[in-house]
Structure 1
Amino acid sequence: MTLKALLFDIDGTLVDSDPIHIAVFMDFLAERGVTITRSDYMERIHGRLNTETFTELLPDADPIEMDLAKEAAYRERLGDTIEPMAGARDLIARARAANMKIGAVTNGPRANLNAVLNATGLAAAFDHAGSSNDVKRGKPHPELYLAALAALNIAAHEALVFEDSPTGIQAARAAGIDVVAITSSLSADALVAHGALFAISDFNDPALARHLSSLEGAFA
């Protein structure tokens, strides 16, 4: 396998933003009479499109309006700066130095994607940034990853995906791309069971360095 591109999910992968999303979801739904716990979030919301969640939990509300309002609340709480996951900044810099392409692939809206990339200061490092606004079907459908491959002009076997959710792993694998999972929210065993090659705690994990060094065209 010749590695030519790294593709990053955003929430829970490039940045540890899940605690913000959980808090916003809990507050947002509580204001509308629905109480959820962190476990509820992980089981019923994590990795899904917001419109699906709101259709299920708030059937009398407009899911699109709820989606827009919730994500606006998220961006307000996110703020102007956020540090990427440990090791991500260095990994991206080394990949760029090795002439690899870098992509972002998220089920979140374009506004969130731009906000996170700008808040990390990494926006200029990305050759492609795909959001739910760019496709008809979000993860677990592979459309977002297929679009990334087309935009970067690479084959599936030339890319490596980083994901933290079962839906994201399923989407990448359905597009034919190998996945390294991040254990920001689920156990390594659970993520591997959904199709990841292996799981790491963050981008400084020695297991990732060993894997990258074994790939043709990659770096130590």
Structure 2
Amino acid sequence: MSLQAVLFDMDGTLVDSEAMHFVCWSTLLAPFGVSYLEDEFCQRFSGRPTLEAAIEIKSENNLSVSAEFLAAEKYRLFGEYVKTNLPPLMPFVVQTLKAVKNSGLKMALVTGSATSEAMPILKGLEFYELFDSVVTKDDVITPKPAGDPYLLALKQINIKAENAIAVEDTFTGVSAANNASLRVVAIANSHTKEHDFSKATYCMGNLDEFWQWVQSQL
């Protein structure tokens, strides 16, 4: 069971973008008189599909607009926001991505974000060309926590699940990797430290620790 590929999540794993998602949600919900505390909101919704979050937000606040409208507006706001506000990097991201790439392993980016949200980040940070495959929620019918995004990435890079590992930061992401029969490393951040990572293959502190593990597998 040799390691041949690494499949990275994006938000919260490579970039510290959860606060930016919160800003866009707050901007969207302010006209309705709805507000949330950032830590509570991010802990609750980090990694979850935007439409799923919109359904809950609409229901608990009795909003007159549809959940589909809320989700579409959130995608639009974030896509505009990120054009001029790139998120900060998570620790050891640049070193890890370059090291994995230089090792000869294949790399895929598998995100629950929309293409309009992910591409400005990946291209703005000059990460896009590092990946052999990029899969967003728009590329599949059923996004994370379904395994479909990971299965598509594996198909695109022509690697079997048993020869790859995913890197995630949320319960939703770990579930998606599990559903694709992938090994998965969970690296919690400040917004997801209370998530249930009991189904992760490994729990690690940061990407540098992950790279040290990768080296032991080569």
TM-score tier by shorter-chain length is 0.7 to 0.9
| Superposition TM-score, scaled by structure 2 size | 0.88
Alignment RMSD (CA, Å): 2.0
- TM-score normalized by the length of structure 1: 0.87
User: What's the secondary structure of 1:121's corresponding residue?
Assistant: coil
Query: Which of 78, 84, 92 pairs up with 2:89?
Result: 84
For structure 2, list consecutive stretches of 5 or more residues without a partner in the other structure: none
Please, which of 125, 137, 143 is the counterpart of residue 138 of structure 1?
143
Mapped partners of 1:213, 1:191: distance in 2: 27
CA contact (8 A) 1:164 1:191 kept: no
Q: Are 1:101 and 2:103 counterparts?
A: no
1:159-179 deviation line (CA, Å, top 9, x unaligned): 111111100001101211111
C-alpha deviations, 1:90-136, integer Å up to 9, x for none?
A: 22212222221111111111111111101211111111111111111
Q: CA deviation at 1:195?
A: 2.3
Taking the aligned partners of 2:17 and 2:201, their CA distance within structure 1 comes to 21
Q: How many residues align?
A: 212
- Which residue of structure 2 aligns with residue 150 of structure 1? 155
User: CA separation of 1:190/1:62 partners in 2, compared to 1, >3 Å: closer, same or farther?
Assistant: closer
2:66 is matched with which residue?
A: 62
- Aligned pairs for 1:153-172 within 5 A: 153-172=158-177
1:8, 1:103 within 8 Å by CA — same for their partners in 2?
yes
1:176 — aligned with what? 181
- Distance apart, 1:55 and its partner CA: 2.1
Q: 1:186 to 1:10 in 2, by over 3 A?
A: same
CA distance in 2, matches of 1:190, 1:103: 24
Secondary structure at the aligned position of 2:10 is classed as coil
**Deviations along 1:141-199, whole A, 9 cap, x unmatched?**
11111111111110112111111110000110121111112222222x74532424112
Partner residue in 2 for 1:50: 50
Task: Tell me the alpha carbon deviations over residues 14-53 of structure 1, each in whole angstroms, 9 at most, x when there is no partner.
Answer: 1111111122212322222322222442354221111122
Could you list the runs of 5+ residues in structure 1 that have no partner in the other structure? none
SS at match of 1:193: coil
CA distance in 1, matches of 2:184, 2:108: 14
1:151–1:186 distance in 2 versus 1, CA, 3 Å: same
Partners of 2:216 and 2:8 in 1: CA distance: 20
In the alignment, residue 34 of structure 1 is paired with which amino acid? V
Residue equivalent to 2:192 = 186
